[in-house]
Amino acid sequence: MSIAVVGLNHETAPVEVRERFVFSEGEAREALAELTSAGVVREAVLLSTCNRTELYGAAGDDRTEAAQDAARALLAERAGMAPAEAERYLYRRSAQDAVRHLFRVTSSLDSMVVGEAQIQGQVREAYETALALRERGVVGPVLSRLFESALSVGGRVRSETRLGTGAASVPSAAVELARKIFGSLKGHRALILGAGQMSELALECLAGDAVENVVVANRTTRRAEALAAKVGGRSAGYEDLPRLLREADIVMSATAAPHYMLTRAMLDEVFPRGRQDPLLVVDLALPRDVEPAAGEVSGVFLYDIDDLRQIVEDNRARRENQVPDAEAIVDAAVEDFWRWYASLDVVPVLRAMRDRAERLRAAELEKALRKLAHLSPEDRAVVEALAIQLTNKLLHDPTVRLKEGVGNGRPVIADTARYLFDLTEHDTTK
């Protein structure tokens, strides 16, 4: 079985392209079921965040390219593109490169904000979405082991290095941008649209910067109330947006809406003569919440997640000395996983060896016991135990050596074992 990934991220596609590839959780479940039911991809996990959409799959050893083509077709369909057009933005990884890619993603080494903590939770959620479809065969032993290993690697990088120390999340980069525009944020008024994880991070960053007047607006007010209560803020519904926009200095939007929450027409209506004092609008959502033309309104300063890149790059430079240690953890974990993965190829050989040995042991033991009919039941039990012990001891070293050899990149050893133990192809594939 082979492992592969097809995807795009902030390095290969701008925000206006990435937002076309975004999947909601429900859409991800449907896509995974569709992809694995076709038969080419045996297991699959779909990771979709504001900075990346990636399909991880496990397929037959000779089906890697076909599996990647199937993943590309699914992603292209989601984006409303022809497969050839989508290919311009997509990357493909397979085998150890695919494993290393996932481990680096989960460790935030491949993030726009190196060291950010949110990606590990997003990888976990993607894996759990696939796990929920286990009965439909969407995820199995290979990707389960892969994603469990990836989450472990991410945890080790965070605990054993200082990669995340002082690491800016995208919302904290937005707050840093606000400080460049307003100076001190103390006393300024903030409006947060949405009440999900990104909004919660934005709220924490604003509260940490002494922003005291915060309003959380959401489609359902219960979630908005719970989030606002954490910082002593207020909650509101989207129907209050015109009034809330007039009162705000900073707007951060991170909803899951399928349409623009803020449009040029809405801002023109709220500010018919333009905004007199600066209004900073930061669009943290993908698909985007704010119509790009909204930034043309006088006094409105609109930034999306790609516009935060320079701030992110400055923060990256401060943590670069931690990257080699994190990469070393990733490299060691890739080797460990690959030894386990390679050993899967020898499992049928080991099973066939043991089956053959057990058949020979049973036949020879039966012959011997026929000649030793005078033995008591106790003595017969001793002879049977001896036969079993001899079989196990004779198989122990070849079993260990086979696993080690294949795990160390010598798959020819499995073929050698087939020859030495006279195992047919039928024996090792049944």
Known catalytic residues are 50
Q: How far is C-alpha 261 from the chain's CA centre?
A: 28
Q: How far is C-alpha 3 from the chain's CA centre?
A: 14
Distance CA 201, CA 195 (A): 10
**Quick check: 237 and 261 in contact, CB under 8 A?**
no
- Give the pairing type, strands 2-9 and 91-94: antiparallel
Q: DSSP of 111-147, one letter per residue?
A: SSSTT-SHHHHHHHHHHHHHHTTGGGTSS-HHHHHHH
Nearest residue to 130 (alpha-carbon basis) of 68, 55, 200: 55
Number of other CB atoms surrounding residue 155 within 10 Å? 13
Residue 111 φ/ψ region, left for φ over 0, alpha for ψ in the -120 to 50 degree band, beta for the rest: beta
- Give the pairing type, strands 279-283 and 300-304: parallel
Q: Is the peptide bond before 287 cis (omega within 30 degrees of 0)?
A: yes
What lies within 8 Å, CB to CB, of 169 at 6+ separation is: 113, 116, 117, 118, 201, 205
